[in-house]
Structure 1
Amino acid sequence: MAELDYTVATDKPVDEAIQALQSALAERKFSALWHLHVNEKLREKGFHLEPDFHIFEVCNPAKAKQALETDQKVGYLLPCKIVVYSDRNDGNRTKIGLLRPQTLIGLLDDERFRDLANEVEQELRAVVDAAAR
């Protein structure tokens, strides 16, 4: 099975990594449609989670339009997800990672998406790498 994620470590604290992520997304014409701070949401429900964990749903409108015009079933896979978290298994080191579009698009088994998924994944990998630097 193909790798599910692309994840890198950074020496930045989580808040700084999030700011860097948002800047890197904007530079590549992606935007964060939604940001879930999992710890806060769970706290609202009476649960405690440590360390910090954030989920972003990100999108490039032109690429999303292209994908949806090809086959609307791709909507089940949109938007792309990027996470920023303190990895308790790595001394609470900050990690930034994405769910690989190429792996997800493989679930549709439709060659029409191969090039687009590869392009989106390469751009999002560049976003993650830039945010981690």
Structure 2
Amino acid sequence: MSYGITTTVDEPFGPTLAAVKDALKAQGFGVLTEIDMAATLKAKLDVDIAAQVILGACNPPLAYRALQAEDQIGLLLPCNVVVRSLPDGRTEVAAIDPQVMVTMTGNAALAAVADDAAARLGEALRSLKTTA
């Protein structure tokens, strides 16, 4: 089962992370959480990984609609977006496919919300400078 929407950006990590936040904002998403995986794993395990940040993105009207359809949908929120540095200097950006909510819950009432969220996340990723 595919559970993500992914694109590769022809820009380094730092500028891409900033562009992703702007692209999410343009689609009505706010970033509720930001987890720097490289810093966290360095601090907790003293291991080094490539730069990688997990953004917890939320579009409040969509979250509200999802909660109206499924009272435990909070277990699958917010929408995670991962920005990860690649060895060749490019950056991978991946977002959870909101259709996972429908699949995981079996609740067809979430389909319209998931469609809307998927369209918005897809547009955010498409708006970035991507590789062909």
Q: Same fold (TM over 0.5)?
A: yes
2:123 equivalent in structure 1: 126
1:96 equivalent in structure 2: 93
Cα distance per residue 1:29-75 (max 9 Å; x no partner): 11110111101111111422221111000000111011112221211
Residue 111 in structure 1 maps to residue 108 in structure 2: yes
Q: Which range moves more in the overlay, 43-52 or 11-20? A: 43-52
Identity of aligned residues (%): 25
Matched residue SS, 1:72: coil
Unaligned stretches of 5+ residues in structure 1: none
2:22 equivalent in structure 1: 23
Within 2, Cα distance between the matches of 1:87 and 1:105? Answer: 31
Q: How does 1:1-133 map to 2 (within 5 A)?
A: 1=1, 3-88=2-87, 91-133=88-130
* Structure number with higher helix proportion: 1
Unaligned stretches of 5+ residues in structure 2: none
Q: Which one-letter code corresponds to 1:21 in the other structure?
A: V
Within 1, Cα distance between the matches of 2:85 and 2:38? Answer: 11
Note the C-alpha offset of 1:111. Answer: 0.9
Deviating 4+ runs (over 4 angstroms): none
Q: What's the C-alpha RMSD, in Å, of the aligned pairs?
A: 1.4
Matched residue SS, 1:18: helix
Within 2, Cα distance between the matches of 1:68 and 1:25? Answer: 21
- The answer to whether the Cα contact below 8 Å between 1:36 and 1:55 also exists between their aligned partners in 2 is yes
